[in-house]
Chains A and B, each alone.
Chain A
């Protein structure tokens, strides 16, 4: 053992104490015991904990490669040695009643030497202090670890004195109550001239290694440790614990992410399923609408074609149609063409509404005149219904006259259509409190309360099982027109039966 001058005396005293301790040695193969000063010891064959241990682990970890095997073996040996060093220090210092850190430390190298690990040579630039300045640089000549490689004629690619580093740092850590780590910066087994170590607190070790490398290896190897320690790695006591913790955290975060993603996927899937159902329903509705629209368009076409063919066949037979027949046919053709034009207009309105291109052209309008005209036209279309108009004879408002006429016509047409048994249809007009109110009341089949909102939906048809005709667009279009005017449309069931539709518009007087 060689130590710096200032602490030599303490170390010499320690040497005497330790020597006395080790003199009291009993070996009893009968009971399989070795005792030193009453404390049981075990003898280990040095190579089994070094070169042979590395070989064993390397073969176990063949599939993972030499680098991983080396890491596993080094970590295990370092952890074991560090733990032994700490435990030995604590036990020994207690037994000898040591208090001063340097005194505590001093027993270490002696104990180390006596138990056969290595000789210890601490360099003068070492500063063993109980703070972050703690710095030891030392050699372990005759290290049992490098010896075991050299005796086999083996050369290592890396420093091998892992237990030496672990034990000494463990002992010192316990002595100073300060986390310490030791790195072998040069190793006989990997081509160095010594087995040389630096010991420092973990947070400072990197800096010491760099400084040492710069001083010894020249500028080009500033960031590299000295020769023989090319692949030095900084050991960490129970690195596996930290890694397990990190692994656990990463697992947990992975599980959390998986759970989140799964929830997102489930939600996306549900959304998709809802969309599929909705789209399917929309397709069914559209399909049904197309079928209804085709039916509605074909009906007037049938009459048009029928009358044309009836007249043509008469001409083919060289007959002259009577004036009466021509009158009937041409009136029918005129009426059916008007009906067709109405259906086509509705289809165009729907397409405009869908594209947001139905634009109003409001102008000062006599709404009473519109209502009178609608009533007049309606009377021409039905013999079974009487159409009654109530309200002022003129009522001025700023509206789109064509569109408002379309709405009132639609309301009256519906009233006629859904009153198949005839009766009195009332159109009522009123301007009050800044609002224009138009009501159309019929004595017909009525609308159940639960359908009063639905009847304004597009494609909605009351009583589809009883064919009343139409494409289910009229009230939908009317509502859109009314709402574009800033008004509203609603249905109610009068006590006397039938249906009342009410349009309310803000009254913008001309």
Chain B
């Protein structure tokens, strides 16, 4: 069984590093991008099962990315907003995300959310 691919978009290197390890241990294949622009480049090559999206990023932020992503041809992966901002829930609603996770979060919660949203999604 091939591993499901998760795309993490976050400008913080530390977060990218540990999420890669944590989800890797949980059996996922993790691709990371430091901003929305880089993520769009990666999406051209492979389709993830779940997108983990930080909101405040340089060059292309979460709002801009989600707008650009929605304009792409289907299929579309579920988006989980992962942010340290006070308004995590509001941001998620703004861009029509499927869920949100407030930083700092528990690794266990991250894994559970990713499992939940990757189960019905198309495999990479």
Contact B58 A467 (CB under 8 A): yes
- Bound complex: CA of A299 vs CA of B15, how far in Å? 8
CB neighbours (8 Å) of B55 from chain A are 467
Asked whether any CB of chain A lies closer than 8 Å to the CB of B104, the reply is yes
- Bound complex: CA of A296 vs CA of B56, how far in Å? 11
CB neighbours (8 Å) of B17 from chain A are 303, 307, 328, 332
- Are A306 and B25 CB-contacts (below 8 A) given A295-B56, A467-B57, A467-B58? no
Closest chain B residue to A303 by CB distance? B14
- Bound complex: CA of A298 vs CA of B108, how far in Å? 18
Interface residues of B in 7-52 (CB under 8 A from A): 11-12, 14-15, 17-19, 21-22, 25
CB neighbours (8 Å) of A469 from chain B are 11
- Are A300 and B106 CB-contacts (below 8 A) given A314-B25, A466-B57? no
Contact B14 A298 (CB under 8 A): no
Contact A302 B57 (CB under 8 A): no
Closest chain A residue to B102 by CB distance? A298
CB neighbours (8 Å) of B84 from chain A are 294-296, 298-299, 302
- Bound complex: CA of A294 vs CA of B88, how far in Å? 13
Asked whether any CB of chain A lies closer than 8 Å to the CB of B107, the reply is yes
CB neighbours (8 Å) of B103 from chain A are 298-299, 301-302
Asked whether any CB of chain B lies closer than 8 Å to the CB of A291, the reply is yes
Asked whether any CB of chain B lies closer than 8 Å to the CB of A309, the reply is yes
Contact of B86 among A291, A300, A466 (CB under 8 A): A291
Contact B56 A306 (CB under 8 A): no
- Bound complex: CA of A306 vs CA of B11, how far in Å? 16
**B-contact bits for A272-304, CB 8 A (1 contact / 0 none):** 000000000000000000010011101111111
CB neighbours (8 Å) of B108 from chain A are 309, 313
- Are A309 and B106 CB-contacts (below 8 A) given A465-B61, A468-B58? yes
Contact A302 B104 (CB under 8 A): yes
- Bound complex: CA of A329 vs CA of B103, how far in Å? 18
Contact B58 A306 (CB under 8 A): no
CB neighbours (8 Å) of B61 from chain A are 465-467
Closest chain A residue to B105 by CB distance? A302
CB neighbours (8 Å) of B72 from chain A are none
Asked whether any CB of chain B lies closer than 8 Å to the CB of A494, the reply is no
Interface SS, B side? loop
Interface residues of A in 300-326 (CB under 8 A from B): 300-307, 309-310, 313-314, 325
Closest chain A residue to B111 by CB distance? A313
Smallest CB separation, A331 vs chain B (Å): 9
- Bound complex: CA of A172 vs CA of B107, how far in Å? 116
Interface residues of B in 69-118 (CB under 8 A from A): 83-86, 103-108
Smallest CB separation, A403 vs chain B (Å): 28
Contact A306 B86 (CB under 8 A): no
Asked whether any CB of chain A lies closer than 8 Å to the CB of B3, the reply is no
Smallest CB separation, A19 vs chain B (Å): 113
Contact of A335 among B11, B14, B106 (CB under 8 A): B14
Interface residues of A in 27-65 (CB under 8 A from B): none
CB neighbours (8 Å) of A325 from chain B are 21
Contact A294 B18 (CB under 8 A): no
- Bound complex: CA of A303 vs CA of B15, how far in Å? 5
Smallest CB separation, A18 vs chain B (Å): 108
- Bound complex: CA of A465 vs CA of B62, how far in Å? 10
CB neighbours (8 Å) of B123 from chain A are none
- Bound complex: CA of A332 vs CA of B14, how far in Å? 6
Asked whether any CB of chain B lies closer than 8 Å to the CB of A342, the reply is no
CB neighbours (8 Å) of A300 from chain B are 12, 14
- Bound complex: CA of A328 vs CA of B86, how far in Å? 29
- Are A294 and B86 CB-contacts (below 8 A) given A299-B103, A309-B106, A420-B59? yes
Asked whether any CB of chain B lies closer than 8 Å to the CB of A126, the reply is no
Asked whether any CB of chain B lies closer than 8 Å to the CB of A336, the reply is yes
Smallest CB separation, B62 vs chain A (Å): 9
- Taking A302-B103, A310-B25 as known contacts, 18 extra A-B pairs with beta carbons closer than 8 A to each other, sorted by chain A number, are A295-B83, A300-B14, A301-B104, A302-B14, A302-B105, A304-B14, A304-B104, A306-B18, A306-B104, A307-B14, A310-B21, A313-B25, A314-B25, A332-B18, A420-B59, A466-B61, A467-B11, A467-B58
The 3 closest A-B pairs by CB, nearest first: A303-B14, A467-B56, A298-B84
Interface set of A (CB-CB < 8 Å, partner B): 291, 294-296, 298-307, 309-310, 313-314, 325, 328-329, 332, 335-336, 420, 463, 465-469
Interface set of B (CB-CB < 8 Å, partner A): 11-12, 14-15, 17-19, 21-22, 25, 55-59, 61, 83-86, 103-108
Task: Pull 16 A–B residue pairs with CB atoms less than 8 Å apart, ordered by A.
Answer: A295-B83, A295-B85, A298-B103, A302-B104, A302-B105, A303-B15, A305-B106, A307-B17, A307-B18, A309-B22, A309-B107, A310-B107, A313-B22, A313-B107, A328-B17, A329-B21
